[in-house]
Amino acid sequence: MESVLSKYENQITIFTDYLEEYPDTDELVWILGKQHLLKTEKSKLLSDISARLWFTYRRKFSPIGGTGPSSDAGWGCMLRCGQMMLAQALICRHLGRDWSWEKQKEQPKEYQRILQCFLDRKDCCYSIHQMAQMGVGEGKSIGEWFGPNTVAQVLKKLALFDEWNSLAVYVSMDNTVVIEDIKKMCRVLPLSADTAGDRPLDYLTASNQSDELIFLDPHTTQTFVDTEENGTVNDQTFHCLQSPQRMNILNLDPSVALGFFCKEEKDFDNWCSLVQKEILKENLRMFELVQKHPSHWPPFVPPAKPEVTTTGAEFIDSTEQLEEFDLEEDFEILSV
């Protein structure tokens, strides 16, 4: 099995190049809604990317469900992509988009709180354990590969809202005929969180104005890291310190989920307006926005807290608070 996984991971770089080999051009590169001029700001661009939390396959964590797998190598890549998307939304909310990370530098306590939510332990609210077990309700067995839409549904259940009523919007779609719209969404919509896709190039963190994407790859197996005696986490393996990879957007897998972070309700309103103006004006649409919840859909049920006490549960909002930010009074997002 290990030889199969090794062969698979080695194939990941076939269609990719490293950013250090990027051509010397005057193009703008967009990293999660923030632009960099490649020719003069390459170091800032690399720092911006390395600041993103990077979640990969892990091994030697406690068995999921008590008797399940102790590694997610080979099946957990989309779950790791979902973790990266949600972590980015939490960082934007609690630390701000301009927050930067530096190796071996003391980080704010909010950063440590966010990181601890994603450790590979059953008592961490956004852990691989919680996500895998939540996937059972979506028809996925523990140890089974998830698609982007399933991950988005799991993230919704694990609470897309935090205690300040912020919102992470996830749009799942088939990109076979909408490459140009995806490029436009990466550039035009300033509230971008991340993009997650199918194998083997999963977590797409950036887009420039040509036809290429910069991404963080979850297909690396690292050893489980736990909280240290002082209550902090050694975070060196949770940031990609090597030059990031890039790929042509035409190699993007057909199934993707785009993520957008809205800090306040007015941000969501602006997002809807931009989508309607720039994206949904074409006849062939990736998704739709409607004013009311479709009658043939099941009723909207706010995400509930996990049944077990979890570390980082303070990031999960209560039903009462969720009702203050009622999506159904604004728009309903329909994937197609």
Q: Which residues are marked as active site?
A: 77, 217, 219
Which of 181, 145, 203 has the alpha carbon at shortest distance from 16? 203
Start-to-end CA distance of the chain, whole Å, equals: 36
Q: Decide: 236 and 47 in contact? Cβ < 8 Å.
A: no
Residue 229 DSSP SS3: coil
Between the alpha carbon of residue 302 and those of residues 62, 131, 160, 292, 321, the distances in Å are 30, 17, 10, 16, 10
Residues ≥6 apart with Cβ < 8 Å to 22: 38, 42, 246
Instruction: Give the C-alpha separation, 64 to 164, whole Å.
Output: 31
Which of 92, 38, 25, 5 has the alpha carbon at shortest distance from 244? 38
Using the structure block, give the residue that is written with the tokens 């067995």: 141
Between the alpha carbon of residue 133 and those of residues 119, 125, 130, 168, the distances in Å are 15, 12, 5, 21
Give 124's DSSP letter.
B
42, with CB counted inside 10 A (0-12, 13-18, 19+), is middle
The two structure tokens encoding residue 103: 């190796």
Which of 41, 135, 22, 4 has the alpha carbon at shortest distance from 79? 135
